[in-house]
Amino acid sequence: MLSAALVVGLTATSCGGGRGGNKNPITDLDASGRFDGGGDDGGLPDGGRPDASFPLPKAEDWTFYGTANGGPIVVKGVSADQGGNLWVAGAEEGLFLLRPDSDTFERFTMDDGLRPYGYPRANQGTITKKYLNVLSVAGGPAGTVFVGYAGMPPGPSEYGCEDNWDGPNPDPNIYKSGDADKVTLAGDGIRVVHYDISSGEGVVAGEPRGREKVCDVYRILYDPRTSSLWFGGNHAYAWGDPSYAGNPTCFGQLGCSGVMEHAHPLLNGYNREADASPSALTNYYYGLAIEPSGELWIGGMFRSQHCASGNRGSGFWTCESQALSPSAHIDWWPDAVQSYSRPSGRTDDLVSDMDVGADGSLWISSFTNGIAHRLPGGGVDFISGGLVDPLHAYSIEVDPLDGSVWVGAGQGGLTRIKGGQFIAYGVSVFGARLALGHVPDIQVDTSGGRRRILVAFQAGAIGVYEGD
């Protein structure tokens, strides 16, 4: 392991269009299939859902659920609410629920009330095309889950959901797609409240007609101690009110939207080697972690941020202002050229997940760099050796039972770092189908005074670990 101090970024300008984003979005990595950015993959094949059942593995201390239990073909995330219900992000198949007394999933789609699109004003047109792709879940109070969506993919000549609003032909079907819902069990069905992560007319001084940037919600963090939701998305992160009751006629005004948006530790640089001019680089905020004090950590593709004011909702604006300061930009895997760099001069962090240990340390996983461990004193250890997939870490979670760390791989299964040892859970435990696919999410269920490790296997299963 190599120790290093934190490296901070240099000045970054505000986004185009006021606080906009990358006008030439970086193509998602993975000619080799290791990192896809999370937004558009995992759909059903033409003709609908096939018979995708496959034998689940059997292993001591593990219970597995898959398509044979009615689960999704593609799993993007798994979480538990405080009542012990398991919720699964099932990509284009929707949201799945496994109740504590059942081994069969229930499925929810737009027909049941899911709303992966916002509320356009009358002068913006109407929603005529709808797209469902559940990317993330975060369990809330008993019977409640917070659900993150992907924005609608654009057509060949259309701007994507991040830039569509600022493009020549704004289409509400695209720029109002995605964002997040609060889903609560209600009898045999669900009650849904939508979080439209946008700002309305007159809210942002530099963008008086409104702002529509965040649409893909890759991670959601629910913090009951501070009554906060944190949304990590494309372009930026945002805050939400978990008690929000909804307001379809709010249209992005601060007093009624249930949202404060958005903030990003952006960086001046070049998207591609041959670009003639720099851009404000900001994307892929997969990293969200809360310290016991409520202080917030955010990790993205290029830079990360630590905001001490994240311990209260009103502190979001302090986080937003701080994110514009060069001293607040954290570069975990230091770039050779710190500002106005081209790709050849950068080691993009590509943070995939974050979690905080009981000792005050921070664990950071990266899609392309392995993992980093920020020690309580501020130094950083970089770890790749010992992991089942040395460089491709898709998820990370600290185990409250003993402080060990679970790392989900791009390929190879899981690594558990416990007592200085690296314990591999690979093909021999999970079988080839699960172990050779991504592990996009790991979460802990502490409902009912227990501890369960919940693992999402993108290939179509979840694993529940209840051993020591």
Tens digits of per-residue pLDDT, 26-68?
Answer: 444 443 334 565 444 444 544 455 556 799 999 999 999 999 9
Nearest to 408, CA basis, from 426, 396, 424, 390: 396
| Contact of 374 with 359, CB cutoff 8 Å | no
Strand, coil or helix: 69: helix
Pairing label, strands 330-331, 7-8 = antiparallel
- CA–CA distance, 55 with 114 (Å, rounded to integer): 30
- Nearest 10 degrees: CA dihedral of 423, 464, 84, 197? 80
Fill in the amino acid letter for 240.
G
Residue 10, Ramachandran bin (φ over 0: left; ψ between -120 and 50: alpha; else beta): beta
Q: What residue spans define the domains of the chain?
A: 2-465
pLDDT of residue 41: 46
- The residues near 307 (Cβ < 8 Å, ≥ 6 apart) are 295, 296, 297, 298, 315, 318, 319, 322, 323, 328
Dist. CA 76–CA 93, nearest whole Å = 11
List CB contacts of 25: < 8 A, sequence separation 6 or more.
160, 162, 163, 271, 283
Query: CA nearest 134: which of 98, 181, 99?
Result: 181
Cα(140)–Cα(229) distance, integer angstroms: 10
CA–CA separation, 42 vs 94, rounded Å?
11
Full pLDDT tens readout for the chain, 468 residues: 333 322 222 222 235 433 333 333 444 444 333 456 544 444 454 445 555 679 999 999 999 999 999 999 999 999 999 999 999 999 999 999 999 999 999 999 999 999 999 999 999 999 999 999 999 999 999 999 999 999 999 999 999 999 999 999 999 999 999 999 999 999 989 999 999 999 999 999 999 999 999 999 999 999 999 999 999 999 999 999 999 999 999 999 999 999 999 999 999 999 999 999 999 999 999 999 999 888 999 999 999 999 987 766 668 999 999 998 888 999 999 999 999 999 999 999 999 999 999 999 999 999 999 999 999 999 999 999 999 999 999 999 999 999 999 999 999 999 999 999 999 999 999 999 999 999 999 999 999 999 999 999 999 999 999 999
Strand stretches in 187-243, DSSP E: 189-195, 217-223, 228-233, 237-240
The CA distance from 459 to 29, in Å, is: 19
* 61 within 8 A of 465, measured Cβ to Cβ: yes
Amino acid identity of residue 310, one-letter, is G
CATH fold, domain 2-465, is Methylamine Dehydrogenase; Chain H (2.130.10)
- Bridge partner residues of 160 (DSSP): none
Which of 2, 5, 6, 15 shows the shortest CA–CA distance to 262?
A: 15
- pLDDT for 44 equals 52
Q: What is the largest CA-CA distance in the chain?
A: 60
How many whole angstroms separate alpha carbon 407 and alpha carbon 284?
19
> Which pair of tokens denotes residue 77?
């995330």
pLDDT of residue 327: 86
Q: What is the pLDDT of residue 440?
A: 99
pLDDT of residue 183: 99
Q: Could you give the 3-state DSSP secondary structure of residue 23?
A: coil
Residue 6's pLDDT is 28
Pairing of strands 421-425, 441-445: unpaired
- Range 199-205 contact pairs with CB under 8 angstroms and sequence separation of 24 or more: 199/252, 199/254, 199/261, 200/121, 200/250, 200/251, 200/252, 200/253, 200/257, 201/121, 201/251, 201/252, 203/252, 203/253, 203/254, 204/18, 204/19
The tokens describing 386, both together, are 């010992």
65, 83 Cβ separation under 8 angstroms: no
- What's residue 427's pLDDT? 98
